[in-house]
Amino acid sequence: MKKILYIIALFGLLGLNGCTDELNTEPTDRVAGSTMFKDATSAETAINGIYRALFVAGWSTNWASENCGQTAINLMADLMGEDHLMQGQGSGWFYEDYRLNVHGDYSHKSGRSYSVWNFYYTIVCNTNYIIASEATMGGNPDLKQSIIGQAYALRAFAYSNLIQLFQQTYIGHENAPGIPLYTEPTVAGTVGKPRGTVQQVYDLINQDLDKAITLLGGVTNKVQTHASHVDYYVANGIKARVNLVQHRYKEAMDAAAEALTRPGLKVATVSELGGNNSVKAPGVLWGVEITKDQTAGTASFFSHMDADVTGSYGSKARQCISSGLYDLIPNTDLRKAAWFRGKLSVEGDGSNISYCQLKFKMADPVTRTGDYLLMRAEEMILIKAEAECHLEKYAEARTTIKMLGSKRDSNFDTRLADRTDSKEYNTNTNAPLITLMDEILFQRRLELWGEAGRIFDLQRLALGYNRSYANSNHTEKVTTKNTSAASPLFIFPLPQSEIDGNENITDEDQNPIVQ
């Protein structure tokens, strides 16, 4: 009998071993989760372990350096689109994502399919143990309520990323095969679940987020005690993201607006964001604080991004903005300096090369540290503005997008006045901006470059792309590959290990594989 193969170890009590490649059920064979989490304090230790998983590397048997948690997945999803490129291939880390050339890796445990599956399902398994302990957990009631709320939010977060990476977007694919859904603890011998439909997956995600928001909104202090924790406002931010994907624009607008009510939250200036490396910067809703004892060398997000640190991977395989997106940025916009230094013709060491990114910099190159930012107020503004525009609330959308644009571009009001009130947008993503929606989507591409995963936006907006245009600086133009809307290359095959280990999933359930 086949059994599920992904890890079910409990982070907080056992240390992080989600990067191993074999099923580890020893702890749950010995003691029930309800005993492990008999009080809120032990459960808090476990959930802190889940937050640690968001930044550690090693979710595959090899190529660990390109698997540094959530920011690695964001970077991967950005490189799969048209706005982000790698100037050189280095050792190949992330370059194959950029080439849309990872489908063949599904058959082993070193590639994207397995590492992403392992990462998110490890989070799911651990949150399930915490949620299952709700009825029996003792200790501080307020702490208990907060921990259970965080667990629901984190499970929704994991499933929302999985479904976007392993199936086409929600609209038009509601009845397509989704991913296996687990809501109870898994132990040795647990039989794997079949692929639920996309609709079933989103139904669970929506339910989890509603539960999380109710629980987190009912605690004494609705604001997180540490930047890494999901609080009431972050849960609303996750809900805003999820509803945007589902085209539930009223719900997305309301959730984003609620996230923006966090006390003391404000839009950060470009200078306040600095190198996008501090959870203490204004506007940061959620992030992971990285201390010098948590640095991971080349297996870190900033090592891949910062070309000016000697020996960093980014100095060998520079991360750059596409000329197509760069040319759309007005000279009055302060963000233009995040990808350009000196003359465009200059080619040299470090970041002194055309279009190389300067947006993400290590906070301390000596200790090689920098915090990972997972959600900012600016993203919530962008979601709210886009949702309002979809709902044809054009005056409100203009007011909302000004909250961001006016902090970035001294000429933004004049620029915005030239946009027509329309929710239509260009299918050519490098075309001149005409409508209000064009402007809002451009602001999103620019503000969240390297953060949000461009391929997710392309999917939900039913867009494809073309990297082969006049003066394109893309090193891989992928002209022989399908980059039209809903391309099978925009999602991953299921890992072969899941098909081999889950008796309810067979080769017939596999996603299209494009070699």
- Average confidence (pLDDT) over 375-402: 99
The lowest-confidence range among 177-186, 246-255, 275-284, 297-306 is 297-306
Residue 249 has pLDDT above 50, yes or no: yes
| Cα(275)–Cα(79) distance, integer angstroms | 20
* HEC profile of 74-116: HHHHHHCCCCEEECCCCCCCCHHHHCCCCHHHHHCCCCHHHHH
pLDDT of residue 296: 64
The pLDDT of residue 209 is above 90 = yes
pLDDT tens by residue, 419-458: 999 999 999 999 999 999 999 999 999 999 999 999 999 9
Choose the weakest-confidence range: 10-24, 98-112, 309-323: 10-24
Task: Determine which of 131-145, 152-166, 185-199, 276-290 has the lowest per-residue pLDDT on average.
Answer: 185-199
Binning pLDDT at 50, 70 and 90, where does residue 485 land?
very high
The residue with greater pLDDT, 28 or 258, is 258
pLDDT for 17 equals 35
> Helix, strand, coil: what percent of the chain each, to 5?
45, 5, 50
CA distances from 490 to 75, 202, 436 (A): 14, 19, 27
Distances (CA, A) of 487 to 205, 207, 354: 24, 29, 30
Task: Please name each of the domains of the chain with its CATH number.
Answer: 1-144+290-322+335-497 (1.25.40)
Q: Which one has a higher pLDDT value, 196 or 66?
A: 196
Q: What is the pLDDT of residues 252-272, one digit of tens each?
A: 999 999 999 999 999 999 999
Q: Is the pLDDT of residue 6 over 70?
A: no
In the predicted model, what is the mean pLDDT of the chain?
A: 91
- Distance set, CA 210 to CA 131, 204, 207, 214 (Å): 14, 10, 5, 6
pLDDT tens per residue across span 333-363 = 999 999 976 554 445 578 988 899 999 999 9
- Return the structure tokens found at 449: 């470059």
